[in-house]
């Protein structure tokens, strides 16, 4: 293993400038949820680079997901990544241009460096390293690239329809070590149509359903606008940020708005959906630790006639969509809202007693890194495939900056993660099943 490790380290060091160039090009695409052209352009770039590297490629009929592959054989290792990104929020909060790769103070900075463009290029070059190092893979290693991970996951449904599923997979869209449990994901829009809204001039906050926003605005007719500042974070860890929607809601409640009362009474001071009746705070299911349900408001909009509030819910194993709907239905009459579920996916529990997962931990252990099986705070493409987990590229779940202003990944962690992926590909490529 040490001989392989030295070869991998030397290879990546020799190609460092080329790798960073590809990261820089990919990050320059403003491939936001609503920008279909840029998302497809980002996907096309990755597939073109893969072909230039000598890989086979393919894409769905809709060109919303594609793949690049090395090796041959009946067994396939899948790597599930994505090129779409969340909105940048207020660019004044960024210390570097969001869509430009910047190296500063030991960090790479830019939207997508952690989630998930950096990992796309890490894995693409990791696969190329396998070829260039003369390893003849005894199985297929396939990088599967999506374009809608930050919104609805139709791209993965289209991929499975056209190409089926790998035998086992990981998504480089989280943290090390191995995260074999993910919570369910649900976005619920609450529509408030109260008569008091005629007094409202504007109310607005948030750009992405899966990110806590950094600012909010509330204004009544004939009065100056009230601005509320916050700290943007991934919606799966709202306690790490500062949600301005909660502040807006408290002020709106003082003005007698039902939507404000709902926010102040049912969301403020509670990250776990307890006041909504979504859950009871339990963090185990069938004797397995699965984490607590998390619920946070992420978008608030006023269209002149109604308020729409998006609740982002990460629900633990043991709960389901019907239970969430019933809990919210019980509050409709009190606060006067209608519900609309825009997306809902089930929790994921992957059996940890599988050889490819133990290979992951063995590799981490050989590098002196933490090993084991954990519960992911966020959701990833891992839940769309069988025998799949989330694995890297962040080395401490609480240190992740996905969906935040100034998204970053330390230079040392970037190259450490890339070494891990490349060595894992090499070991799996040479392993008989």
Structure confidence by residue, pLDDT tens digits, 205-256: 998 899 999 999 999 999 999 999 999 999 999 999 999 999 999 999 999 9
Q: Is 51 exposed, middle or buried (0-12, 13-18, 19+ CB in 10 A)?
A: exposed
Burial 21-48 (b: 16+ CB within 10 A, else e): ebbbbbbbbbbbbeeeebbbebbebbbe
* Structure confidence at residue 33 (pLDDT): 87
Per-residue model confidence as pLDDT tens digits over 69-99: 999 999 999 999 999 999 998 899 999 999 9
Backbone angles phi, psi at 294, to 5 degrees: -125, 135
Grade residue 410 by pLDDT with cuts at 50, 70 and 90. Answer: very high
The percent of residues above 90 in pLDDT, for the chain, comes to: 91
Tokens 């009929």 correspond to: 61
pLDDT at 2 over 80: no
Enter the tokens of residue 110.
């830019």
Residues 88 and 111 sit within 8 Å (Cβ to Cβ): yes
Whole-number average pLDDT of the chain: 95
Counting every residue written for the chain, the total comes to 433
| For residues 120-124, average pLDDT | 98
Dist CA 301 CA 378 (whole Å): 24
Domains of the chain are: 2-183+348-429 (3.40.630.10), 184-345 (3.30.70.360)
DSSP calls for 95-159:
SS-TTS-EEETTEEESTTTTTTHHHHHHHHHHHHHHHHTT---SSEEEEEEES-TTS--HHHHHH
Q: Does residue 315 sit in helix, strand or coil?
A: strand
pLDDT at 116: 95
Calculate the CA dihedral of residues 321, 323, 324, 329 and round it to 10 degrees.
120
- Characterize 179-192 residue by residue with b for buried, 16 or more Cβ atoms within 10 angstroms of its Cβ, and e for exposed: bbbbbbbbbbbbbb
User: Predicted confidence band at 31 (pLDDT cuts at 50, 70, 90)?
Assistant: very high
Percentage of the chain lying above the pLDDT 70 cut: 99
pLDDT digits (tens, 9 = 90+) for 309-347: 999 999 999 999 999 999 999 999 999 999 999 889 889
User: Is the pLDDT at 162 greater than 70, yes or no?
Assistant: yes
């Amino acid at each position: 293993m040490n001989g392989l490790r030295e070869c991998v380290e030397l290879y990546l060091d020799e190609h460092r400038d080329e790798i960073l160039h590809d990261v820089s090009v990919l990050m320059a695409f403003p491939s936001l949820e609503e920008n279909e052209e840029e998302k497809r352009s980002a996907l096309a770039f990755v597939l073109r680079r893969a072909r230039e590297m000598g890989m086979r490629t393919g894409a769905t009929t809709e060109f919303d997901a594609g793949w690049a592959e090395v090796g041959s054989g009946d067994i396939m290792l899948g790597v599930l990544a994505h090129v779409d990104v969340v909105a940048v929020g207020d660019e004044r909060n960024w210390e570097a241009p969001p869509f430009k790769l910047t190296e500063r103070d030991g960090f790479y900075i830019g939207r997508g460096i952690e989630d998930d463009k950096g990992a796309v290029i890490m894995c693409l070059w990791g696969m190329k390293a396998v070829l260039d190092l003369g390893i003849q893979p005894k199985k297929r290693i396939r990088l599967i690239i999506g374009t809608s991970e930050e919104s609805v996951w139709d791209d993965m449904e289209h991929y499975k329809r056209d190409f089926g599923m790998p035998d086992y997979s990981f998504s480089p869209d989280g943290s090390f070590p191995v995260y074999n449990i993910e919570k369910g994901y649900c976005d619920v829009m609450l529509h408030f149509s109260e008569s008091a809204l005629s007094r409202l001039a504007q109310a607005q906050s948030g750009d992405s359903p899966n990110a806590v926003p950094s600012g909010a605005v509330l204004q009544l007719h004939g009065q100056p606008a009230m601005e509320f500042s916050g700290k943007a974070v991934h919606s799966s860890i709202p306690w790490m940020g500062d949600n301005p929607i909660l502040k807006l809601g408290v002020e709106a409640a003082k003005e007698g708005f039902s939507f404000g009362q709902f926010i102040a009474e049912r969301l403020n001071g509670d990250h776990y959906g307890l006041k909504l009746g979504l859950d009871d705070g339990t963090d185990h299911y069938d004797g397995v630790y699965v984490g607590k349900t998390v619920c946070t408001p992420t978008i608030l909009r006023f269209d002149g006639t109604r308020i729409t509030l998006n609740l982002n819910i990460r629900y633990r194993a043991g709960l389901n969509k019907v239970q969430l709907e019933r809990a919210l239905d019980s509050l409709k009459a009190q606060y006067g809202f209608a519900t609309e579920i825009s997306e809902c996916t089930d929790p994921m529990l992957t059996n940890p007693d599988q050889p490819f997962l133990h290979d992951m931990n063995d590799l981490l252990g050989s590098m002196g890194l933490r090993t084991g099986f954990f519960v992911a705070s966020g959701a990833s493409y891992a839940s769309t495939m069988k025998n799949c987990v989330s694995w890297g590229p962040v080395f401490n779940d609480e240190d992740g900056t996905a969906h935040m202003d100034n998204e970053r990944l330390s230079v040392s962690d970037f190259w450490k993660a890339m070494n891990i992926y490349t060595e894992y590909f090499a070991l799996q490529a040479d392993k008989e099943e």
